[in-house]
Structure 1
Amino acid sequence: MLGSAMHPIRRFMGAPKYDDGFNSVRRRSANGGVLPSTRAISNKIFAEASIPPFDPKYNHFLMQFGQWIAHDIISTPLATGPTGALLDCTKCESEEITANCAPIEVPEDDSFFPAKTVDGKKACIRLTRAINGQQGLGPRQQINQNSHFLDLSQVYGSTDCVAKSLRTLQDGMMKVHTAQGYTLPPQATNSSNCQSAPTYPCFSAGDARSSLHPGLIPMHTLYLRQHNKWAGQIKVLNPLWNDEKIYQETRRLMIALYQSHIYSEYLSKIIGQQKMQQFALNPSGRSNTYDPRINPSVSVEFCSGAFRFGQSQARKDVPRRTNQNVSIGATIDLGQHIFYTDPIYDKTATVSSMMQGMVNCPGMAVDRQFSFPMRNEMFSKRGQKASGVDLPAFNVQRGREKGIQPYNEVRVSLPSMHSRRIWIRQPLI
């Protein structure tokens, strides 16, 4: 069952680092002092420069493909109330009510988020902790509700139930929405996250975050269209095959294509060709080097630390371009479209123009700077300033609430990590 859905995320560093050694969010430093607010850290370290640092070597699609991979292998469910209701972790005192809240204090000198609530109390940025998946005695543990493998679970789901709900159950085909005149993923009319519904419904996919922002929907559409194209071709070649046979064969080929893209095109740009060769990651022939003795589960250090480097690559917008690389319409502001899908229903902003925009426009450099929407407007509501969250501050707070060992302790324990550059990239392999 190692690496299967709804199983624990492992730890490279062994025991977690909680303040009480068991459950509480880490708020003390190595010398016993109080750790600063992660929003204060974000303001001092992660703020974007006046001239945003674009990377001329790589396009915006590199970032988007990285997030595509993350949504395949990482999905940590959040804690809920006794009846499954969402927790209200917006107030600073919420952590005193439940151990499943870890709000982030807003500094007094913050230039975007108000430091005080309307009733004069200390203000915080909301954060709900990851659900405690520990089944017996022992420290708090996190689980992954997606499979840990590169298996396109963001397209097909990580359970049989989800997989079946996305199929037409005829000729191996997947469900689609075509009312706009072109193919999109099927609509999710009951999505609780969707902020543009019911006028502009969000979409269903193997992963619940498919409509998180407009740059993700073209990815889901692309793979969905390719699946149905190949399923149709396989049906012609094998007319006696039933739905299940066609579906599984198409799915197998789609996963192979996806893995080829990762190892042949994506990974070498992230860790470099030297590391690709050192760890024998370059595809060669049809060799199968799978070893059942190795635990394939993703680690908490990777999913909540190392692999979040890609968030610094995210632009503040999704450009739109034609096939001739000519701008079409307005760019799509990232901060104003978290779980808003209205651009997808605009026929001048088709998924094709968004994909062309990501391919033909540069992404941001991999550095400590994050674009304005990433630091101030994630999950915000339109027209309501400071209704969102700070994603890099979230990342640091996630490390504390999940008990990830401090950075320097990780460096000491992994001798190959001689620099910040290797720390960011080594855990990928």
Structure 2
Amino acid sequence: MKKRSAAHSMRAFNSPSKRTQQLSQTLDEENKEMERIAKLVTGEDKDFLRELRELDIFARADEDPVCSMSIDCSESDNRNIYDGTEYRTYTGMCNNLENFSWGMAGIQHLRLLDNAYDNGRWNARADSVTGTNRNPVALPTSRSVSNAVHTTSETKADNDVGVSLALFYFMQFIDHDIVKTPEGTVRDTIDCCGSDTRAFCMPIVIEESDNDDHFETGYCMDARRSFTVLDCDDDSGFQNQINDITAYIDASMIYGSSEDEADTLRSNVGGYLKTSTADFMPEAADPDDLPCDVDDPSFCFEAGDTRANVHPGLTTYHTIFVREHNRIAKYLGAINDDWSDERIFQETRKIVAAEIQHVTFSEMLPAVLDTDTVSAYGLYDTYSYNSTQDASIIQAFSLAYRYHNMMPATLHMTEADGSSYINTGSHNQEDAFESPSFLFEHNYKGVDQISLGFAFNSCPYANRLMNDAARNLLFLDDNGDSFDLATLNIERGREWGTPAYTEYRSLCGVGDVTDWDDLQSTHTDDVIAALQSVYDDPRDIDLWTGVVTETTVGTSISGPTQSCLVAKQFANLKYGDRFWYESTVFSADQLTEIKKVTLSRILCDNLDISKMPEEIFKTSSTWVDCSSFDAMDLSQWGTSKK
């Protein structure tokens, strides 16, 4: 357990970028002025203040500055051009030359359906379809859904189709490359779990009917609402959430989503990224703002994404790809002695992003989705850039891609034992959160042991249940306070005004739902019974709960609606990316080398290990010598090859 409070940990995990902080601070000043005026006018008239809150005056959003921006992408100053070669901008701006903001950091969520806010503007979705305007019926509390649908009395069994933990952690790694929805700012003087709630507060109070063995009646999870801005094309006051990072698969979790963030991470010598002792990421300058154990600040790393420290499995991938960057930069500098630091850095950044794109589509997605879905959405079709395809993050995808039901109960440390491998150390998952220091264990070999551990061990089943480490003990602190991740996911969908699961099911062509029997094509009888025990109507089912309770398709880890939303987003990320690795950004010979890359080879090149599975996302795969994996021939990037 950590001395930092659970609430502080959650704030650090969802912390906004500097850009969003500036917007949020402006709104906060305006909200404080409204409070001051209200007090002067009413003399602390509580009824009037309540009416103001109901009108959302204390939670009002400002105009989105991007809506009024005018950027000419034909001007070189708005693009990242060096020595006649164009590279991605750090922010994603002008990836699409006709729509400069598509996929850019700070852009609003895309919505496939109209918002389901209770007032059409910002009030969280709260009412069942069984009620009326005159006699509304409340949705079940998010914790009651968690208790009825997602609880398990014992540790979940490992899946029996050989899906390794390497997949689960890599999926989180990719998630942090493409989406981050920041929280709104709440002043330190405001207690969201007290009576004085304002603006972005979202306290989740355990009601008597939700009482269980972990959270007592009256317990409050100090959650916050996401930051919002006014929709660009809607004058009704509709507020929308934003993506704080670039949507593209561009390795922004390594390099950041702004030039300032990249500059902080660069050494400015030889194209290298900064590192610390034993080739780990650099030490964080301000660890208090990061999701890591503040009891030992030297173990908090600086990375392109602020969430890099939240779990050792995630930190391991960050470490490996920082090392991969520097490994490639060293080689490119050696064979191109006329290249500047900037040229080496930009070329290396382009290669690393291409490696991640290739691994995502050639290794990750085949495990996440079934072959029919992959085919239906053209994920493996020959690449052809489509300037009308918006790569920005779809809000429903951000919820559907939360495969938290596959989070294990244990962090495994694994070592070679002759010709086999054994788990030499196991730690409760709740003790692993915010503890990047696990990578330093055994004289800095912890990163190797964690990597072997997630390749050697299996994920839990992809079903509706969640282990206690995530469902009851997330960010557990010394006071015994913690969060329920299932509850948070459900509540997040409601406060975003996300329509119910059944609407997305219909949109995806899975089938309309009017009664409980209509779920039988996608849900087992026991799951339907669990849902029916807490929801009044199937059309009330929250999106996240709906998709993770679907029966998975084939050997994939996704149900049909979940598959649809995930595939739709990744298709946009591929065909809506002008710099996709299969475009003309590489020569034919260079592209051939990139397509040799496997995640196992990347781990072999950057860890002190001798073997890896041929297919790292399958525990049934044969372990082979690292020398067995094809390696990129980086000589193809020599000046003479240009």
Q: State the TM-score, normalizing by the size of structure 1.
A: 0.90
Mapped contact 1:79–1:87 kept (Cα < 8 A): no
Aligned counterparts of 2:189 and 2:423: Cα–Cα separation in 1: 40
Q: By how many angstroms is 1:200 displaced?
A: 4.2
Q: Which residue of 1 aligns with 2:199?
A: 99
Aligned counterparts of 1:86 and 1:244: Cα–Cα separation in 2: 45
Q: Which residue of 2 aligns with 1:143?
A: 242
Indicate the SS of the match to 2:287: coil
Q: State the TM-score, normalizing by the size of structure 2.
A: 0.61
Q: Which residue of 1 aligns with 2:151?
A: 47
Does 169-178 or 199-208 show the bigger shift? 199-208
Paired letter, 1:110: D
Q: Say whether residues 1:114 and 2:216 are aligned partners.
A: yes
Q: Which residue of 2 aligns with 1:356?
A: 452
Indicate the SS of the match to 2:372: helix
- After TM superposition, the structure 1 = structure 2 runs for residues 297-312 of structure 1, keeping only pairs within 5 Å, are 297-303=392-398, 305-308=399-402, 310-312=403-405
Which of 107, 110, 115 is matched with 1:7 structurally?
107
**What do the CA deviations read for 1:225-255 (whole angstroms, capped 9, x no partner)?**
1110000001111111001111111111111
Distance change >3 Å, CA 87–CA 68, structure 1 → 2: farther
Mapped contact 1:24–1:99 kept (Cα < 8 A): no
Q: By how many angstroms is 1:280 displaced?
A: 2.4
Distance change >3 Å, CA 86–CA 209, structure 1 → 2: farther
**What do the CA deviations read for 1:165-216 (whole angstroms, capped 9, x no partner)?**
10001111001111xxx22111113122333344543111110000001111
Indicate the SS of the match to 2:250: coil
Paired letter, 2:462: V
Mapped contact 2:410–2:426 kept (Cα < 8 A): yes
- After TM superposition, the structure 1 = structure 2 runs for residues 249-398 of structure 1, keeping only pairs within 5 Å, are 249-282=347-380, 287-303=382-398, 305-308=399-402, 310-324=403-417, 325-327=420-422, 329-347=424-442, 350-381=446-477, 383-385=478-480, 387-398=481-492
Mapped contact 2:165–2:454 kept (Cα < 8 A): yes
Q: Which residue of 1 aligns with 2:93?
A: none
Question: Which structure's residues are more often helix, by fraction?
Answer: 2
Indicate the SS of the match to 1:142: strand
Q: By how many angstroms is 1:49 displaced?
A: 4.7
Aligned counterparts of 2:314 and 2:308: Cα–Cα separation in 1: 6
**What do the CA deviations read for 1:87-141 (whole angstroms, capped 9, x no partner)?**
64334x45xx2131222231433210121xxxxxx33222100001226642110
Which of 115, 126, 132 is matched with 1:27 structurally?
126
Bigger radius of gyration among the two: 2
Does 265-274 or 199-208 show the bigger shift? 199-208
Aligned counterparts of 1:165 and 1:189: Cα–Cα separation in 2: 10
Distance change >3 Å, CA 323–CA 163, structure 1 → 2: farther
**What do the CA deviations read for 1:39-66 (whole angstroms, capped 9, x no partner)?**
1111111112535221132011110011
Paired letter, 1:397: E
Distance change >3 Å, CA 88–CA 426, structure 1 → 2: farther
Distance change >3 Å, CA 49–CA 114, structure 1 → 2: closer
Q: Which residue of 1 aligns with 2:170?
A: 65
Q: Which residue of 1 aligns with 2:494?
A: 400
Aligned counterparts of 1:237 and 1:67: Cα–Cα separation in 2: 35
Q: Which residue of 2 aligns with 1:119?
A: none
Paired letter, 2:397: F
Q: Which residue of 1 aligns with 2:78?
A: none
Distance change >3 Å, CA 25–CA 366, structure 1 → 2: same
Q: Which residue of 2 aligns with 1:411?
A: 505
CA RMSD of aligned residues (A): 1.9
Q: Which residue of 1 aligns with 2:604?
A: none
Q: By how many angstroms is 1:306 displaced?
A: 0.8
Indicate the SS of the match to 1:141: strand
Mapped contact 1:335–1:380 kept (Cα < 8 A): yes
Distance change >3 Å, CA 59–CA 88, structure 1 → 2: farther
* Aligned sequence identity (%): 26
Mapped contact 1:200–1:345 kept (Cα < 8 A): no
Mapped contact 1:3–1:295 kept (Cα < 8 A): yes
Indicate the SS of the match to 1:257: helix
Paired letter, 2:168: M
Distance change >3 Å, CA 51–CA 244, structure 1 → 2: closer
Q: Which residue of 2 aligns with 1:89?
A: 192
Paired letter, 1:134: L
Mapped contact 2:190–2:198 kept (Cα < 8 A): no
Q: Which residue of 2 aligns with 1:425?
A: 563
Mapped contact 1:6–1:143 kept (Cα < 8 A): yes
Aligned counterparts of 2:405 and 2:325: Cα–Cα separation in 1: 31
- After TM superposition, the structure 1 = structure 2 runs for residues 183-222 of structure 1, keeping only pairs within 5 Å, are 183-192=279-288, 193=290, 194-198=292-296, 200-222=298-320
Aligned counterparts of 1:200 and 1:369: Cα–Cα separation in 2: 36
Mapped contact 2:421–2:456 kept (Cα < 8 A): no
Q: Say whether residues 1:78 and 2:183 are aligned partners.
A: yes
Does 182-191 or 43-52 show the bigger shift? 43-52
Aligned counterparts of 1:412 and 1:141: Cα–Cα separation in 2: 23
Aligned counterparts of 1:352 and 1:69: Cα–Cα separation in 2: 20
Mapped contact 1:375–1:390 kept (Cα < 8 A): yes
Distance change >3 Å, CA 86–CA 337, structure 1 → 2: farther
Aligned counterparts of 1:353 and 1:63: Cα–Cα separation in 2: 17
Paired letter, 2:239: R
Aligned counterparts of 1:89 and 1:327: Cα–Cα separation in 2: 46
Does 321-330 or 355-364 show the bigger shift? 321-330
**What do the CA deviations read for 1:314-363 (whole angstroms, capped 9, x no partner)?**
10121011144533542132212322333233226511100100000001
Mapped contact 1:173–1:247 kept (Cα < 8 A): yes
Paired letter, 1:408: T
Q: By how many angstroms is 1:404 displaced?
A: 0.2
Aligned counterparts of 2:508 and 2:297: Cα–Cα separation in 1: 51
Aligned counterparts of 1:377 and 1:328: Cα–Cα separation in 2: 24
Does 49-58 or 203-212 show the bigger shift? 49-58
Distance change >3 Å, CA 199–CA 407, structure 1 → 2: closer
Aligned counterparts of 1:219 and 1:371: Cα–Cα separation in 2: 23
Count of residues paired in the alignment = 407
Gaps of 5+ in 1: 116-121
Bigger relative contact order, structure 1 or 2 (CA pairs below 8 A, ≥6 apart)? 1
